[in-house]
Structure 1
Amino acid sequence: MSGLKLSPAADAAAGPALLWAACDASLPPAWDEARRLAALDTYAILDTPAERAFDDVVKLVASLCDAPVAVVSLVGGDRQFFKAEVGLGVRGTPVDMSICAHAILQSGLFVVPDTRLDPRFVNNPLVTGEPFLRFYAGAPLETPDGVPLGTLCVLDYQPRPAGLTPAQEFALTVLARQVMTQLELRRALLQREASERRFRQLADAMPQMVWSARPDGFHDYYNARWYAHTGMAPGSTDGEGWDEMFHPEDRAEAWGRWRHSLATGEPYEVEYRLRRADGAYRWTLGRAMPSRDDAGRIERWFGTCTDIEDIKRTEAALRLSEERLRLALSAAEMVGTFVWDVAADRITADAGYARLFSVDPARMAGGVPLGELLPAIHPEDLPAVTAAIAGSVESGGSYEAEYRLTQADGSLRWVVARGRCEHDAEGRPQRFPGVVVDITERKLAEEGQELLARELSHRIKNIFTVVGGMVSLSAMGASGEVRGFAGVLRKRLNALAAAHEYVRPHGPDNRPAEVETTLRGLLAALLAPYGAAEAGRLQLEGDDVPIGVKAATSLALILHELATNAAKYGALSSSEGRVAINGTRTGERFALVWQERGGPGIEGPPERRGFGTILAERGAITQLGGSIHHDWAPEGLTLRLDVPLGRLAH
């Protein structure tokens, strides 16, 4: 091999890959420099301390080859590292001084009989200066896939024209393979320690207790969470020490399951009570799986312990709740639960449901079609019930309906039914669970309460009439001033009566269709006598809100006073005048604005406030918890009433 024209400095810049290109070899290596260096890194061998296994090899090969120098050389990117050496006294040199960098470019044994006669090394500092090396023989250190890492080589201060003897060459080659065997073993150990370290880091990060055991079942590892949970010292539960951590009543079961898994290789799973660091026993789920080699033999067992105390308590509470529900349903004969299989059209239900629909409980438990149950529903209620069912089936929304059921003896019972139709991933109706509750007694009580309320309302209405009549009778023959006062009082009583009529209880048979239980309904009732709405002089705009009994009384006084003053002095006193009433709901408050326009001009606020105005303002503040503000603009009055929404509903 001749023809290399690179200087030592150029050798360093080129590296082994370019050194190959400068040789006269016919074929390039089956690797590149990046791959070679990456392979070398996997052994993590550079700059490691001396090790006896490698030192013994160089001593032996130096003796066998009768050489003063022997080296295990590993060629890096810019230097060569001597893992073991005899006769040099250094741990490495720059790559531009390396004969081994050339040796790894060859296949097989590389021998240089006389470095002074080889143009590749004639100017090498190790040849021209100390230690004046004249002979080199190196066997490559190659990975299993043929990538060279360095050489096992011998060197001499004298040239050897005849090279090595066949026995020496054989010994050098065999010992080079032994060096690679040591490197492979070392790498395997390192990889295992990296793998074990990652496993321990992962296991310690898990929220569970993790353990592992040898194939014979000997526990030799627990993660940090195990020791934190149990309070045991590290190593104290190795072997069979874990047995003492179990509740005495659970040990036999746990041991039996573990022995069965060891004998059969089947996964291990058992529930037991594990002692915590504070001495309390908590329910735990233990699981383990075997790890097998390529031949199917178990190498290790890996297991976990999961605290399931909270799950156990939840299950116990759920069982108790279910038992209570069953007892409650069995005691309450007029409550029933059902499940409708929509696709199969089969309703299965408990005994309470069966009794309400007059069906044999045993047959109901087996399932009946929906159509068989519908005739029990009162004909007047059936359309609404079927529409509610169809709506839930179509949309998957909730279902609720009140209806009457005809009993076997011909009597009627009121029930309320609630449920929801469940759909599959494609939107098809599948399951429709629900409950039916007998509300007959509640309905009867409500009817009694409504009857009483209507009677009380009737009596209150009569009181307004009697008081109004008494006022009229008292004013007869009195002075004009008294008659005027009586007239005002009678009108205010009429306003209160109108408000009461608006909010009083009405039955389904006597509620006027035009009456709405809202602010607009109250306004319509109070302002009807003035005819402003029919004449287009009254506008009701904006938001509407529900009105309660207490709020209606205060509002009636306020609105009556406004309407009366508008008719006497304001917008409604003129044919061109008009009143706009606007309601605005903002969050939890409501603002009512009364605005008059087109009436007589206003010079400013009135010099004195009348009794009605004072009464209205006090009602707004004390009864409604709000505020009232007057704006006496020349073009007309604007009044703003601001109250909490919650007070309006009282």
Structure 2
Amino acid sequence: MLDIPVGQPAHRPIEAGGGARKGRSMSPAGFEPGEFCARPAGWDEQARLAALDSYAVLDTPPEQAFDDVVRLAAQICQAPIAVVNLVAEERQFFKAEIGLGVRETPLDVSICAHAILQPGLFVVPDTTLDPRFAENPLVTGAPHLRFYAGALLQTAEGLPLGTLCVLDYVPRPEGLTEQQGFALEVLAKQVMSQLDLRRALKARAADAAKLAEGERQFRILADSMPQMIWAARPDGRVDYYNRRWHEFFGEAAAASLGDGWRTLIHPEDQDRTDARWQEALRSGQAYEVEYRLRRADGAYRWALGRALPVRDGKGRIIRWFGTCTDIEEQKQTEERLRLSEERLRLALSAAEMVGTWVWDVPRDRITADPGYARLFSVPAVAMAEGLPIERLLPAIHPEDRASAEALIQAALAGEAGGAFEAEYRVVLADGSLRWVAARGRCEHDAAGRPTRFPGVVMDVTERRAAEEAKELLARELSHRIKNIFTVVGSMVSLSAMRAAPEVSRFATVLRRRLNALAAAHEYVRPHSPDSRPVETATTLHGLLGKLLAPYEEPGRERVRLLGDDAPIGVKAATSLALILHELATNAAKYGALTTDEGQVTITGTRQGEQFALTWCERGGPPVAGAPSRRGFGTVLAERGAITQLGGSVAHDWAPEGLTLRLEVPLDRLAH
């Protein structure tokens, strides 16, 4: 017979520890098993119970595989009772049993609770002779258990979960035969194999369920996205496309699995795309490429393709996931921007553009292109990286620097919406001078602090030279025309010296008209920025102020200018000068300007495409009505306004004073 230990000595040295959870003792019959046998080193109760829980076998229904084991164990050992017993926290659960008729018992009557505390077979030949079990209710009472033999159900980590045991109603002093003991241990290992297999299958089923749920959620998410999503095996063959892919490609999507997607790419992009994909597969790096895809309607649209590999715990690629994003609108925007930039470049070139700049005001760094750097005599690399403004100002001609700095400060302060416009000379590295026109606008934050100041500079040296030549010619022509007016006026004066009084009066009127025309000519002739009249631009108000200045008196407002202003051209200025001269002369001779209280109010009004000029006299002598006879000058002036300007003239001879309304098309006024 096999030398199997039977009944552990009652006074064997013990190890401390191993109390049960929840404050309950797992000791049978109210005593700690350690009193009689030591717990093997290397595990504790918490770890053992956790291992048992991991098998999820407690309270499961009977299973054929385990039932067959207990029947075989009972037959081999010639025992009426055989049990697959799992020792839990407060009970022992019988996964399979024969001869007992119950599925569990309390832990305090368990013999197996002692068996799991020692290695190998645990045999009790006669329970009535073992002090650990002599008082056990299952021994002293039904079913009167007298013999026990159990083989450990032990995990690979050495944690005992329970036993495969056989029991008898009669004692067996001889214990088990060698074959019976060997068979019981082998069958115990088979039970553990079944438990391990059961746990593995359950874990695999759980993993499969998780995988299926993850796949389901992934498909829902992928189908809800606006992008085309695909997945491929490690070799690069695609085996999944989302709904958006099928919507985009229509019937062609069915043939795009595997390597079929290549046929959906524009022929000009296929080789480049395939090379990128093969490189990603070879290197395991991220994949990104732009290509054109043929939509279901045959139209090609630009797309951005991207993919990343998924790796296992050993770093091996197990999957590729990718997207295709429609970027057609972005490409069209980029093309429009490219064309716009090209047109801007051509326009700037035609406009003699020199360079552009952007000033980061808080950091005081101006970045600009090479043309700007060349103008200000600084290295292009330094200009691209950014320079403070003080590094650039010395390039401005000393005579122009103060005015340029003042305009810069005004823009920084937010005057005129931060607009900046200046013309000044710069001194190049070779000492030569160039005129430049600078335009820009300073941007401000919500608190009014300057933030960004972009702008452009244009080389206007040739334009300035042309303007100076034009100004010289204009001055020469103006001088000659003024001489003509002077000569004609002198001839009129000489001719009237010994003439009748009526002729002298006519000569005086004629000289005044010539002077009015001369003043109008000087006002509207072409001017350079330096020679332009300083008081106004070439506008109606400016002409009126020039012509009516002789009628102003210190401390008295004899003539008022109200309402809208408008630009005027040379032709319009001549006609307007004549009619205004006639009106002013008549007002001084017969109307409002003959009295101390008299006043003339001139009001301009824009009315769509028309411009109305109203001459209103008040405070003069009472007006008896329209004159029976109108002077030659008045008729000539009004006829010129009608024929040359395409306008109309209306009179109101009210008793309180004359009101004249002149309406002229705006476009004719500017000629």
Q: Is the 8 A contact 1:551 1:649 kept in 2?
A: yes
| Residue 381 (1) aligns with residue 400 (2) | yes
Question: CA shift at 1:451, angstroms?
Answer: 1.0
Inter-CA distance 236–431: structure 2 relative to 1 (3 Å threshold): same
Q: Deviations over 1:43-91 (max 9, x none)?
A: xxxxxxxxxxxxxxxxxxxxxxxxxxxxxxxxxxxxxxxxxxxxxxxxx
Question: CA shift at 1:368, angstroms?
Answer: 4.9
Correspondent of 1:624 among 642, 645, 660: 645
Q: Deviations over 1:6-25 (max 9, x none)?
A: xxxxxxxxxxxxxxxxxxxx
Cα distance in 1 between the residues matched to 2:431 and 2:271: 64
Cα distance in 2 between the residues matched to 1:608 and 1:330: 63
Cα distance in 1 between the residues matched to 2:450 and 2:485: 58
Cα distance in 2 between the residues matched to 1:394 and 1:491: 48
Cα distance in 2 between the residues matched to 1:423 and 1:343: 11
Q: Secondary structure, in 3 states, of the residue corresponding to 1:609?
A: coil
One-letter amino acid of the structure 2 residue matched with residue 437 of structure 1? M
Correspondent of 2:618 among 581, 588, 597: 597
| Residue 571 (1) aligns with residue 592 (2) | yes
| Residue 219 (1) aligns with residue 226 (2) | no
| Residue 404 (1) aligns with residue 425 (2) | yes
Question: CA shift at 1:453, angstroms?
Answer: 0.9
Question: CA shift at 1:449, angstroms?
Answer: 0.9
Q: Deviations over 1:444-474 (max 9, x none)?
A: 1111111111111111111222223334445
The residue number in structure 1 matching 2:489 is: 468
Residue correspondence of structure 1 range 606-625 to structure 2 within 5 A: 606-625=627-646
Q: Which has the larger radius of gyration?
A: 2
Cα distance in 1 between the residues matched to 2:602 and 2:321: 79
Correspondent of 2:259 among 227, 240, 248: 240
Gaps of 5+ in 1: 1-186
The residue number in structure 1 matching 2:476 is: 455
| Residue 560 (1) aligns with residue 604 (2) | no
Cα distance in 2 between the residues matched to 1:393 and 1:297: 60
One-letter amino acid of the structure 2 residue matched with residue 381 of structure 1? D
Gaps of 5+ in 2: 1-208
Inter-CA distance 239–428: structure 2 relative to 1 (3 Å threshold): farther
Q: Deviations over 1:156-183 (max 9, x none)?
A: xxxxxxxxxxxxxxxxxxxxxxxxxxxx
Correspondent of 2:515 among 494, 498, 514: 494
Cα distance in 1 between the residues matched to 2:590 and 2:278: 103
Residue correspondence of structure 1 range 78-157 to structure 2 within 5 A: none
One-letter amino acid of the structure 2 residue matched with residue 554 of structure 1? S
Correspondent of 1:503 among 524, 530, 536: 524
Cα distance in 2 between the residues matched to 1:236 and 1:611: 96
Residue correspondence of structure 1 range 169-568 to structure 2 within 5 A: 202=224, 206=226, 208-209=227-228, 211=230, 217-223=237-243, 226=245, 230=249, 232-233=251-252, 235-248=254-267, 250-251=269-270, 254-255=273-274, 268-276=287-295, 282-288=301-307, 303-309=322-328, 311-312=330-331, 315=334, 335-338=354-357, 340=359, 342=361, 345=364, 347=366, 349-359=368-378, 368-393=387-412, 395=414, 397-408=418-429, 410-419=431-440, 433-475=454-496, 483-505=504-526, 517-530=538-551, 536-568=557-589
Residue correspondence of structure 1 range 53-64 to structure 2 within 5 A: none
One-letter amino acid of the structure 2 residue matched with residue 242 of structure 1? W
The more displaced of 236-245 and 255-264 is 255-264
One-letter amino acid of the structure 2 residue matched with residue 415 of structure 1? V
Question: CA shift at 1:631, angstroms?
Answer: 0.8
Q: Is the 8 A contact 1:632 1:638 kept in 2?
A: yes
Q: Is the 8 A contact 1:499 1:556 kept in 2?
A: yes
Q: What is the TM-score when the length of structure 1 is the normalising length?
A: 0.57
One-letter amino acid of the structure 2 residue matched with residue 618 of structure 1? R
Question: CA shift at 1:538, angstroms?
Answer: 3.4
Inter-CA distance 267–223: structure 2 relative to 1 (3 Å threshold): farther
Question: CA shift at 1:271, angstroms?
Answer: 2.3
Inter-CA distance 390–457: structure 2 relative to 1 (3 Å threshold): same
One-letter amino acid of the structure 1 residue matched with residue 618 of structure 2? R
Q: Is the 8 A contact 1:212 1:219 kept in 2?
A: yes
Inter-CA distance 412–193: structure 2 relative to 1 (3 Å threshold): closer
Cα distance in 2 between the residues matched to 1:333 and 1:526: 40
Q: Is the 8 A contact 1:532 1:538 kept in 2?
A: no
Q: What is the TM-score when the length of structure 2 is the normalising length?
A: 0.55
Q: Is the 8 A contact 1:502 1:515 kept in 2?
A: no
Correspondent of 1:639 among 660, 663, 669: 660
Q: Secondary structure, in 3 states, of the residue corresponding to 1:381?
A: helix
Inter-CA distance 572–407: structure 2 relative to 1 (3 Å threshold): same
Kindly report the root-mean-square deviation, in angstroms, between the aligned alpha carbons of the 2 structures: 5.0
Cα distance in 2 between the residues matched to 1:506 and 1:256: 67
Q: Secondary structure, in 3 states, of the residue corresponding to 1:607?
A: coil
Cα distance in 1 between the residues matched to 2:343 and 2:666: 41
Cα distance in 2 between the residues matched to 1:488 and 1:252: 91
Cα distance in 2 between the residues matched to 1:546 and 1:261: 68
Cα distance in 2 between the residues matched to 1:482 and 1:260: 105
Question: CA shift at 1:558, angstroms?
Answer: 1.4
Cα distance in 2 between the residues matched to 1:329 and 1:584: 38
Residue correspondence of structure 1 range 4-83 to structure 2 within 5 A: none
Question: CA shift at 1:514, angstroms?
Answer: 5.8
Q: Is the 8 A contact 1:626 1:642 kept in 2?
A: yes
One-letter amino acid of the structure 1 residue matched with residue 619 of structure 2? G
Q: Deviations over 1:97-144 (max 9, x none)?
A: xxxxxxxxxxxxxxxxxxxxxxxxxxxxxxxxxxxxxxxxxxxxxxxx
Cα distance in 1 between the residues matched to 2:336 and 2:535: 54
Cα distance in 2 between the residues matched to 1:623 and 1:310: 54
One-letter amino acid of the structure 1 residue matched with residue 570 of structure 2? V
% identity of equivalent residues: 68
